[in-house]
Chains A and B, each alone.
Chain A
Amino acid sequence: MTMPNKSPPADCGWQHQILSTLKRSGVEIIAYVPDAAHSVAIREANEDPDTTAVSCTTEEEGIAICAGAHLGGKRAAMLMQSSGVGNCINMLSLISMCRFPLLVLVTMRGEWAEFNPWQSPMGQVTEQSLGLMGVRCFRAEQANEVLTQLEGASDSAFNGDQACALILGQRLIGRKAWVK
């Protein structure tokens, strides 16, 4: 077996911008299925007294939670990994039928320097799948793009009344250390 190349550690400063940016956008509820690249935002959301963090057993739960939150007048966002997008497909019909605003943050696997081939089938159709179900995709590939793209996706969701996903590229996230 050939081990992955070594490359400089990714700039992870953007991870600390996620929750603060969401809060500035008025988001009070964060639903999530954990991913390593969301770990900072998940920890901060759980520690923040003004944020309700909801741990989901599958990503489609988070889609329905975001819809329910909007029904009740609060803004929610969902954090997931690209593999979880496949779990959401039919639940996204709730979003399109009722025209709920939606903000999903998707960390990518299976698209750049991926070690685990099982991540590739879903990772390579993540954006298409979201698009097929009527979710607009915004993308960040560089650390300095995350803030602007998140603000754009958030405004489009909550002011523009759209279903939006911010795709956080695997190159932005960096290589996963498989052998510790």
Chain B
Amino acid sequence: MSILNRRDAVARLLKGRKEALVVTGLGAPSYDVMAAGDHDSNFYLWGAMGGAAMVGLGLALSQPGRTVLVLTGDGEQLMGMGGFATIGVAKPDNLVLIVLNNEHFGETGMQPSHTGQGVDLVAVAKACGFTSSERILDETGIEKLCASMHLRDGPIYAEMVIGTDEPERVLPPRDGVFIKNRFRKSLGLASI
């Protein structure tokens, strides 16, 4: 199986974000998104493990005209397994859940995760009713996702197969109130 470089893959994906709103799960996916360039419409999580996809769901339901991209890791998504079922039933057509799967818990010392031991989140997403669920192995797969993620026929699940390399950390802002207010301002919303 080919392996994507996580930084290159995320940067390539976000080049095609257009007006998309982005939520990141804690740990390396937040650093990858930050490394691709900070953006007012990025909401970075530094905690609340298991919550990224659900923040994305709430956002997708409140902004039905905008594509919402959730970028998170396999460990973070495993903590929110029930979220696949919740999204599959809520069926937000503008939600795209992208898991960067290195089959490890990278932030805590690279312990093997369940996805390297037979747990198949692509199959889980399919079984839960996502309209599309694909494993992305190469540049062509990313290009296809860049096109399909704006079509509003989701919910879409995409899993990028990446390596266990740990690129230099590029830390996003970690003041939650600042990130929230900046994000809302990008949508023309007041802080309260």
**Interfacial residues, chain A to chain B (CB-CB below 8 A):** 28-29, 31, 52, 54-58, 60-74, 76, 90-91, 93-94, 97-101, 161
Contacts and interface: CB of A to CB of B under 8 A. Distances in A.
Given A69-B61, A74-B62, A55 B86 contact: yes
Question: What is the interface of chain A mostly: helix, strand, loop, or mixed?
Answer: mixed
A54 B61 contact: yes
Question: What is the interface of chain B mostly: helix, strand, loop, or mixed?
Answer: helix
B63 interface: yes
Interface string B54-89: 111111111100000000000000001011011001
Which 8 residue pairs of A and B lie closest in terms of their CB atoms, listed nearest first? A68-B58, A72-B62, A57-B82, A64-B54, A98-B176, A74-B62, A97-B176, A64-B51
Interface stretch (B7-15, B133-141, B144-152, B180-188): B180-188
Nearest to A95: B48
B161 interface: no
Contacts of B49: 90
Given A54-B90, A98-B176, A99-B180, A61 B59 contact: no
B51 A73 contact: no
Given A60-B50, A70-B58, 6 more contacts: A52-B61, A64-B48, A71-B43, A71-B55, A98-B176, A99-B176
B28 interface: no
Interface residues of B, number: 37
B1 interface: no
A71 B51 contact: no
Contacts of B56: 68
Contacts of B51: 60-61, 63-64, 67, 91, 94
Nearest to A101: B192
Contacts of B184: 71, 73
